[in-house]
């Protein structure tokens, strides 16, 4: 069963029902999703259709209300609608699996640490090493994830794990010079639902080498670095996207340099999400010099001011460097 926001309703040991919020916290006050045959709004009121096709609900006084929000409707048999990210967070919180040398990065890490509304559904992991990774290290990384994900999917009948990305690079690619990070491999895992022939991306992982390991801590069983580390890493990616061409410029929020023109809007959207994530993190850590730059950048992107965005990108580098993560936090 799901609630009107599409979250899975779970039962506690004493029979109490709850859903998990964006940060993984239990929420006991919620409204169940209506069945497909009885559409309702988010307040649980039945939606009626008038003689001309207009929809309305009845207010407490019996007056027709035409402005309302439809509730999420749970399909009778649609496992593809299962919210895998919420289920996976709950699974990790309950079972506390061993992720080895991996840590969670990207939007999902920001969402878990801040509890903010970060629009993301997949998990980006980083397997970090200080020595040059080998094929056996890549196999170890994928084996850890396969074990965790297979155990997770045992709780969701009618699903199958698919390894859809598998690359091991003989030489490093995509260097982050701020942290000295070199990428040596990439693995991606999806969930396939045979009944509906749907494939849902769930986990990505990269194998990297860097001078020193980031310290991580557990957030509901998920290994995450400090928010400061994620902030600086995201800010550096933003700097590169604004000032570089080729691959580094793919996530430019105004003018993506992706080789496939049709893909550029998608990557520009990713760049805009990075800006929003930086602003969200700025509310939790004190980096005022960088925050003012990101606020200016947001305005430049909204007005599609490319010259100003490039100037901000260039000045961003020195400010990031002043806060460079020294591995002690």
pLDDT at 77 over 60: no
Answer whether CATH 3.10.450 is correct for domain 79-225: yes
- What mean pLDDT is predicted for residues 203-212? 93
More confident residue, 252 or 174: 252
Q: Enumerate the domain spans of the chain.
A: 1-74, 79-225, 227-329
pLDDT at 75 over 60: no
- What mean pLDDT is predicted for residues 20-37? 73
Which tens digit of pLDDT belongs to each residue from 1-20?
677 666 778 878 787 888 88
Q: What local confidence, expressed as pLDDT, does residue 72 receive?
A: 55
For residue 145, give both structure tokens.
């994830």
Identity of the highest mean pLDDT range in 75-89, 164-178, 231-245: 231-245
Q: Tell me the C-alpha to C-alpha distance, in Å, between residue 299 and each of 123, 145, 193, 255, 309.
A: 29, 40, 42, 15, 9
Q: Report the helix count and the strand count for the chain, using DSSP H and E.
A: 7, 13
Which tens digit of pLDDT belongs to each residue from 208-235?
999 888 899 999 899 999 999 999 889 9
The pLDDT mean for the chain works out to 84
Q: What local confidence, expressed as pLDDT, does residue 244 receive?
A: 87
Q: What local confidence, expressed as pLDDT, does residue 162 receive?
A: 93
3-state SS string for 12-25: CCCCCEEEECCCCC
Query: Which residues are 209's β-sheet partners?
Result: 129, 182
Per-residue pLDDT band at 327 (split at 50, 70, 90)? very low
Query: For residues 123 and 104, is the Cβ–Cβ distance under 8 A?
Result: yes
Q: What local confidence, expressed as pLDDT, does residue 84 receive?
A: 85
Surface-to-core class of residue 28, CB atoms within 10 Å of its CB (0-12 exposed, 13-18 middle, 19+ buried) = exposed
Query: For residues 284 and 229, is the Cβ–Cβ distance under 8 A?
Result: no
Enumerate residues 6+ apart whose C-beta is below 8 A from 267.
250, 251, 252, 256, 258
Pairing outcome for strands 160-176 and 64-65:
unpaired
Enumerate residues 6+ apart whose C-beta is below 8 A from 194.
158, 160
Which string of DSSP letters, residue by residue, matches 185-239?
EEEEEEEEETTTTEEEEEEEEEEEE-SSPPPEEEETTEEEE-HHHHHHHHHHHHH
Which alpha helices (H) appear in the chain, and where do they start and end? 84-95, 106-114, 135-153, 227-243, 264-282, 288-302, 306-322
- What mean pLDDT is predicted for residues 265-286? 90
Q: Tell me the C-alpha to C-alpha distance, in Å, between residue 220 and each of 149, 271, 302.
A: 17, 28, 36
**What does pTM read for this prediction?**
0.72
Residue found under tokens 């967070």: 89
């Amino acid at each position: 069963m799901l609630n009107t926001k599409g979250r899975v309703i779970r039962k506690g040991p004493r029979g109490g029902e709850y859903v998990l919020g964006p940060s993984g916290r239990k929420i006991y006050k919620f409204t169940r999703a209506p069945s497909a045959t009885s559409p309702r709004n988010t307040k649980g009121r039945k939606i009626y259709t008038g003689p001309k096709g207009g929809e309305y609900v009845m207010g407490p006084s019996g007056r027709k209300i035409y402005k309302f929000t439809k509730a999420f409707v749970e399909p009778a048999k649609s496992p593809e609608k299962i919210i895998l990210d919420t289920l996976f967070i709950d699974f990790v919180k309950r079972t506390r699996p061993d992720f080895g040398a991996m840590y969670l990065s990207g939007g999902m890490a920001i969402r878990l640490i801040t509890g903010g509304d970060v629009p993301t559904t997949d998990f980006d992991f980083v397997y970090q090493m200080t020595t040059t990774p080998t094929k056996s290290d890549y196999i170890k990384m994928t084996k850890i994830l396969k074990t965790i994900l297979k155990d997770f999917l045992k709780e969701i009948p009618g699903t199958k794990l698919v390894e859809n990305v598998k690359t091991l690079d003989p030489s490093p690619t995509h260097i982050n010079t701020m942290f000295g990070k070199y990428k040596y491999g990439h693995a991606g895992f999806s969930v396939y639902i045979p009944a509906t022939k749907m494939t849902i991306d769930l986990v990505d992982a990269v194998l990297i080498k860097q001078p020193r390991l980031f310290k991580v801590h557990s957030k509901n069983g998920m290994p995450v670095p400090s928010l400061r580390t994620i902030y600086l890493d995201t800010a550096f990616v933003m700097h590169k996207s604004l000032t570089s061409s080729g691959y580094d410029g793919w996530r430019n929020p105004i003018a993506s340099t992706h080789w496939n023109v049709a893909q550029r809007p998608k990557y520009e959207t990713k760049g805009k999400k990075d800006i929003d994530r930086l602003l969200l993190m700025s509310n939790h850590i004190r980096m005022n010099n960088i925050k003012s730059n990101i606020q200016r950048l947001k305005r430049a992107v909204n007005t599609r001011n490319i010259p100003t965005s490039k100037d901000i990108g260039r000045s961003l580098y020195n400010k990031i460097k002043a806060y460079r993560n020294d591995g002690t936090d």
